[in-house]
Structure 1
Amino acid sequence: MLARAVDHLPVAGALPGQLVFEPKWDGYRTLLSVLDERVRLCSRTGTDLTGCFPEVARAATDLNEDVVVDGEVVVYTGGRLEFTALQHRLGRSSATVSRLARTEPAHLIAFDLLHRAGTCLVRRPYRERRRALEEFFADHHLVAPWSLCPASTDRRQAEEWMSHWSAVGVEGVVVKGADQQYEPGRRGWLKVRSRRSTEALAGAVTGPVRLPHTLLLGRHTPEGRLCLVARTTPLAAAQQADLGRLLTPGTAAHPWEGMRVTAHWGSRDLLRFTTVEPGLVVEFEGDTAVDHGRWRHPVRVRRLRPDLAPGDVPRFGAGYETTPG
């Protein structure tokens, strides 16, 4: 079952039954199944992840009962959830994966139970599945790499998750209805991403410079190298016009000349873009999925900041650190 993005926390009545809030984790959505003593970890797109996370698979083997658990595989390192650490597991040798399982162990944060001991729970309401999930954890005295996802009906708790937990890699909140059945493939849940704003330099555009479609944003390293940090969503007409008046086409000496950028995360298609002189500061809004200074998802332009100089922009790697004013 999937979630549909909304801009704000919903009010009562938005979903069947009482609203239940859960943190939205920055990890790999994973279905774990133990059937006839065979363990399988499967991604949302059907990719077999069992060999990528052997520590989770071993823990599932020890259950000695048939279950199907829906959850998120995460790696917590350096004080936060680290999405790139998950990527390091893909396509690696078993020796490398085994080493990473020791140095950067993964956890499965379970938030739904779909099957247990011959009983299918898919058509049961969420409140019953949640109760069964909690009983499953209690019956087995589960500890790491197992983790039970927090759930709350308190809106203030959801707001705290969004405001204070983003620093450790929580992307926002997923909202479920207590009376909802589990409907595979349907976007019946709701998700609200935590969003914050900061600044970067316009370094390139897609489309014509005088009427750009999107921006490629950059920040300088302490050594002065301009690094790509984000791509924006499509610009509004007024933003296109304002930018067209302020942007200057880049020269052959632009640091991004010849740079190869994929069209979107996970794609092999290359993006066609035109460089511009990196002198215009842009304030943008994005979610909390920031990997080593780069925003994984497209960001949204809030406003242009001609009042700020390039030197006022946070350095590459600073994340959401902002300039004053």
Structure 2
Amino acid sequence: MSDGPPRPPVRVALAEWVTDLPREPGLAYEPKFDGHRMVIFRQSGDVVLQARSGRIVTSAFPDLVAAARALPPGTVLDGEVVVWTGGRTDFAAVQGRAAATPGRAPGLARRLPASYAAFDLLAADGEDLRTARYDRRRARLVELLDKVEPPIQAVPATTDPDLALTWYETLPRIGVEGLVVKRLDQPYRGGRRAWRKLRHTRTRDAVVVGYTGAPERPNALVLVVPDDDTPFVSSPLPAALRARAGAVLRRLPPGGEPGSAVAPGLGEVAYQGVPPALTVEVATGTTRHGVVAVLRLKDA
């Protein structure tokens, strides 16, 4: 372990997808919440919040900044921000929170308060813990957060694969999309897919943050998925979806800003932003490397 806590930005640890529950000895299992990846830095002076991409999002979450001041200085947490609506996590709501301007953020915090599910401890008491084993980091995380009130809490974890399977089968109704599996002896490996992730289906939800082409019949949608705040461009929409998406986009309130995002095979392309109010179901792929096809619009 090195001296001094890590400072923003840090590269976060990643997970590769698996299709079956790993059961070899020496594993821990955590529920995977449908939220927005965030690293909390409790520094000596104040709090800094970092998204997975490295973007600083402190001003968008004043409620979490206030809660994180209860952490001891020199603490760095990795975890997931979630917003609960109707008894389940709401990714569109949390993406709206993440995109809020400083002027709108306090009002959104009152209407859609955020919770933070911490799943790793990168530093404590000013000491960098990333080279420590997961089980030691986990024990210190639980001990530290036992002294902290919600909305910052540790995610559940177990070494019992049968209990993990029960979580996997019963928790989707509240917005848990699967499990993350970690080796007990594993250090924290930022930027590497050293963890494993088991999801329920080959599809997932994404939030629309923009479009390419004409608003009446967009060519493609620009999307953000849980655990990754980097926008990406879908594959071209089928004709029927283009018409329906255009009808929905026309009903959205103004406020989106132009931007650029990666489109498979094309590189960076320009897009028109929209408020994050529309959720779509997409076929699996990875947001950074694969083609992602929009299957249907949800709640529209």
Aligned equivalent of 2:188 = 182
Aligned residue type for 2:280: R
1: distance between equivalents of 2:44 and 2:279?
44
Aligned equivalent of 2:151 = 145
Aligned equivalent of 1:6 = 18
TM-score w.r.t. the length of structure 1 is 0.63
More strand by share: 2
Aligned equivalent of 1:63 = 71
Alignment of 1:255-274 (within 5 A): 259-262=217-220, 265-266=223-224, 267=231, 271-274=235-238
SS of equivalent residue, structure 1 residue 165: helix
- C-alpha displacement of 1:4: 0.7
Aligned equivalent of 1:29 = 37
Structure 2, unaligned runs of 5 or more: 1-12, 207-214, 225-230, 242-276, 286-296
Aligned equivalent of 2:46 = 38
1: distance between equivalents of 2:222 and 2:85?
26
Aligned residue type for 1:171: E
1: distance between equivalents of 2:35 and 2:298?
23
2: distance between equivalents of 1:92 and 1:292?
16
Residue correspondences, number: 229
Aligned residue type for 2:90: E
- C-alpha displacement of 1:62: 2.9
Matched, 1:294 2:252: no
2: distance between equivalents of 1:129 and 1:175?
15
State whether residues 223 and 234 of structure 2, in contact with CA within 8 Å, keep that contact through their aligned partners in structure 1. Answer: no
**Identity among equivalent pairs (%):** 35
Q: Residue by residue, what CA displacement relative to the aligned partner does 1:77-124 show, whole Å, maximum 9, x if unpaired?
A: 111100011121244333421111112100111111111112221111
- C-alpha displacement of 1:11: 2.4
SS of equivalent residue, structure 2 residue 19: coil
Aligned residue type for 2:20: H
Aligned equivalent of 1:119 = 127
- C-alpha displacement of 1:195: 2.1
1: distance between equivalents of 2:36 and 2:24?
29
Alignment of 1:92-131 (within 5 A): 92-131=100-139
State whether residues 42 and 50 of structure 1, in contact with CA within 8 Å, keep that contact through their aligned partners in structure 2. Answer: yes
Aligned equivalent of 1:154 = 160
State whether residues 21 and 175 of structure 1, in contact with CA within 8 Å, keep that contact through their aligned partners in structure 2. Answer: yes
- C-alpha displacement of 1:37: 2.0
Change (3 A) 1:268 1:185: closer
Report which structure shows greater RCO (CA 8 Å, sep ≥6): 2
State whether residues 74 and 127 of structure 2, in contact with CA within 8 Å, keep that contact through their aligned partners in structure 1. Answer: no
2: distance between equivalents of 1:37 and 1:298?
44
1: distance between equivalents of 2:52 and 2:103?
26
State whether residues 260 and 270 of structure 1, in contact with CA within 8 Å, keep that contact through their aligned partners in structure 2. Answer: no
2: distance between equivalents of 1:12 and 1:268?
35
Aligned residue type for 1:265: L
TM-score w.r.t. the length of structure 2 is 0.68
Matched, 1:194 2:200: yes
Change (3 A) 1:85 1:11: same
- C-alpha displacement of 1:159: 1.4
- C-alpha displacement of 1:292: 7.2
